[in-house]
């Protein structure tokens, strides 16, 4: 018996139920990744991360006697074609939630049926898959985080599966090559791959203790930075959560709770697939202003509000942004500049290595006040946020070198510096917001 394991965004050998099951039940196994032409729409940063992750996966599979077969084209057609070539009778696939992934699953199901191949779907993208816990009263999914978290935390999670020791490829499979590695756009972005992800996880577990106190502290950089590895499935979210739970303590609990937010938005997206373009709560979707100039300043990190600019520049430099900075910059775009959250979704999506439909759009809608679990009138004053979460201005100076010479928290309001000092800084004055409340921006 021969099984194909169609990899998508589960680019790992550890705790991969689809791979483990195929290896346990078939004599020969063909790990496959199809370079879908749609992947050309992937941002340069994520294309680079994906490529590195595939190269690493191939090495890990080779170390176990297998390989990664790489094909180009439509994933469904290529899987069926390969199944014909190697006479496979089964295909294993990790389930995913996006509308695109679910259409692909559906098409694969139909084609497999037509060709009398059995398709098996496996969990692994999340800790709990959409639908694993449901609200009482017959709701299909949770719209509010707190009750979801309570059910999620007390639910029985599946057991982790072992990494296959040996993978036997059928003879004479044409494995195909990976294309040349893409360059990416962010000079300081992390490298992709399961090996790198697991190395970082190990280091992180040693720093997890004070996470509950440090996760909002922007200069401390006290978060895991594992998001991109989770995004591409280089790390199993279940394995990450289990490893963190073993550490016990408030840091571990706070960290596992963040992983729950990830599952939460996935189960929302499963039921509300238009999340990146359509307001969940239509009443929160205002007439947004059209101001291309302000939008461009925000994108470039040149709003003149230092903590906002620091976040936006971190995004471009690292393909990642601290969560607190994501909140501040997103609130600045939507609540102060009054510009459409969809513009923010697109810009973040272009740069973030961890960018994904569910988490990016879910969080943007949360900030903009259009989301399912949101407080529409919540506002963030970026100056107060900066002074609270970057009290000495270290984070700002790290990413806005024009302000390097300004000491302490004064860096958050350069417009209040004496004229003689201010005129020596090559840094713009604050972007005027149209809102009256924005008087805090004025000198």
* 260 annotated as ligand-binding: yes
Lookup: tokens for 347: 């810009």
Binding residues (CB under 6 A) for ligand FAD: these are: 215, 223-227, 230-231, 255, 258-259, 261-262, 265, 323, 326-327, 330, 348, 352, 354-356, 359-360, 363-364, 367
* 349 annotated as ligand-binding: no
Cβ–Cβ < 8 Å for 29, 167: yes
* 263 annotated as ligand-binding: yes
Q: Which is nearer to ligand FAD, 237 or 306 (CB)?
A: 237
Give the C-alpha separation, 56 to 62, whole Å: 10
Lookup: tokens for 281: 């709560």
* 159 annotated as ligand-binding: no
Q: Which is nearer to ligand FAD, 241 or 406 (CB)?
A: 241
Query: Closest distance between ligand FAD and the C-beta of residue 258, in Å?
Result: 4
Query: Closest distance between ligand FAD and the C-beta of residue 265, in Å?
Result: 5
- At 79 the three-state DSSP class reads helix
Query: Closest distance between ligand FAD and the C-beta of residue 225, in Å?
Result: 4
* 354 annotated as ligand-binding: yes
Chain-centroid distance of CA 5 in Å reads 23
Q: Which is nearer to ligand FAD, 232 or 427 (CB)?
A: 232
Q: Which is nearer to ligand FAD, 58 or 299 (CB)?
A: 299
Determine phi and psi for 414, rounding to 5 degrees. Answer: -60, -25
* 258 annotated as ligand-binding: yes
- Contact residues for 131 (Cβ-Cβ < 8 A; gap 6+): 140, 141, 267, 270
Query: Closest distance between ligand FAD and the C-beta of residue 381, in Å?
Result: 16
- Considering only CA atoms, which of 285, 293, 324 is closest in space to residue 308? 324
Lookup: tokens for 369: 């006040």
Query: Closest distance between ligand FAD and the C-beta of residue 354, in Å?
Result: 4
Cβ–Cβ < 8 Å for 371, 280: yes
Lookup: tokens for 183: 């360059």
Cα three-residue angle 125-325-307, rounded to 5 degrees = 165
* 265 annotated as ligand-binding: yes
Cβ–Cβ < 8 Å for 410, 417: yes
Q: Which is nearer to ligand FAD, 92 or 201 (CB)?
A: 201
Give the C-alpha separation, 376 to 361, whole Å: 16
The DSSP result for 391-406, as a single string, is TTSHHHHHH-GGGTT-
SS3 per-residue string spanning 98-155: CHHHHHHHHHHHHHHHHCCCEEEEECCCCCCCCCCCCCHHHCCCCCCHHHHHHHHHHC
Lookup: tokens for 326: 């994501």
* 148 annotated as ligand-binding: no
* 62 annotated as ligand-binding: no
Q: Which is nearer to ligand FAD, 195 or 227 (CB)?
A: 227
Q: Which is nearer to ligand FAD, 255 or 280 (CB)?
A: 255
Give the C-alpha separation, 193 to 206, whole Å: 21
Query: Closest distance between ligand FAD and the C-beta of residue 261, in Å?
Result: 4
Question: Sign of dihedral through CA atoms 7, 8, 14, 19?
Answer: negative
Long-range contacts, 184-188 (Cβ 8 Å, 24+) = 184/44, 184/45, 184/47, 184/48, 184/49, 184/319, 185/43, 185/44, 185/45, 185/316, 185/319, 185/351, 186/45, 186/316, 186/317, 186/318, 186/319, 186/351, 186/353, 187/317, 188/317, 188/318, 188/319
Query: Closest distance between ligand FAD and the C-beta of residue 247, in Å?
Result: 13
Query: Closest distance between ligand FAD and the C-beta of residue 340, in Å?
Result: 13
Q: Which is nearer to ligand FAD, 119 or 330 (CB)?
A: 330
* 224 annotated as ligand-binding: yes
Q: Which is nearer to ligand FAD, 120 or 225 (CB)?
A: 225
Query: Closest distance between ligand FAD and the C-beta of residue 218, in Å?
Result: 11
Give the C-alpha separation, 67 to 319, whole Å: 30
* 262 annotated as ligand-binding: yes
Query: Closest distance between ligand FAD and the C-beta of residue 21, in Å?
Result: 25
Lookup: tokens for 248: 């016990």
Q: Which is nearer to ligand FAD, 78 or 263 (CB)?
A: 263
* 390 annotated as ligand-binding: no
Annotated binding site for FAD: 211, 223-227, 255, 258-265, 354-356
Annotated binding site: 211, 223-227, 255, 258-265, 354-356
């Amino acid at each position: 018996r021969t099984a194909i394991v169609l990899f998508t965004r589960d680019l790992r050998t550890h705790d991969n139920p689809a791979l483990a099951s195929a290896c346990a039940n078939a004599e020969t196994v063909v790990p496959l990744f199809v370079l879908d032409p749609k992947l050309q729409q992937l941002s340069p940063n994520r294309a680079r991360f994906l490529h590195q992750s595939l190269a690493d996966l191939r090495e890990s599979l080779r170390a176990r006697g297998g390989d990664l077969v790489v094909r180009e084209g439509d994933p469904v057609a290529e899987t069926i074609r390969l199944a014909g070539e190697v006479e496979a009778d089964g295909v294993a696939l990790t389930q995913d939630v996006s509308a695109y992934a679910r259409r692909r699953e559906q098409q694969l199901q139909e084609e497999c049926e037509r060709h009398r191949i059995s398709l098996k779907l496996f969990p692994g993208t999340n800790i709990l898959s959409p639908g694993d816990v449901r609200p009482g009263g017959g709701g299909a999914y949770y719209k509010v985080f707190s009750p979801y978290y309570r059910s999620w935390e007390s639910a029985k999670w599946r057991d982790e599966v072992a990494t296959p020791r040996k993978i036997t490829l059928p003879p004479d499979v044409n494995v195909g090559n990976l294309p040349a590695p893409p360059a990416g756009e962010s000079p300081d972005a992390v490298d992709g791959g399961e090996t790198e992800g697991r190395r970082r996880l190990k280091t992180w577990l040693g720093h997890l203790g004070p996470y509950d106190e440090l996760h909002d502290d922007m200069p401390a950089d006290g978060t895991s930075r594992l998001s991109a590895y989770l995004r591409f499935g280089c790390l199993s979210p279940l394995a990450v959560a289990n490893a963190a739970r073993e550490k016990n303590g408030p840091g571990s609990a706070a960290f596992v709770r963040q992983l729950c937010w990830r599952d939460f938005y996935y189960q929302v997206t499963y039921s509300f697939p238009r999340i990146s373009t359509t307001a969940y709560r239509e009443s929160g979707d205002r007439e947004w202003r059209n101001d291309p100039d302000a939008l461009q300043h925000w994108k470039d990190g040149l709003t003149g509000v230092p903590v906002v600019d620091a976040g936006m520049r971190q995004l471009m430099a690292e393909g990642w942004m601290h969560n607190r900075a994501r909140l501040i910059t997103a609130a600045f775009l939507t609540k102060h500049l009054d510009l459409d959250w969809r513009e923010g979704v697109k810009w973040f999506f272009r740069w973030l290595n961890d960018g994904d439909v569910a988490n990016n759009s879910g969080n943007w809608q949360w900030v903009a006040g259009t989301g399912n679990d949101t407080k529409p009138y919540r506002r963030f004053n970026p100056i107060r946020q900066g002074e609270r979460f970057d009290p000495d201005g270290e984070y700002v100076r790290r990413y806005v070198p024009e302000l390097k010479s300004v000491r302490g928290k004064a860096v958050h309001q350069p417009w209040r510096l004496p004229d003689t000092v201010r005129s020596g800084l090559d840094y713009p004055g604050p972007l005027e917001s149209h809102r009256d409340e924005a008087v805090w921006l004025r000198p």
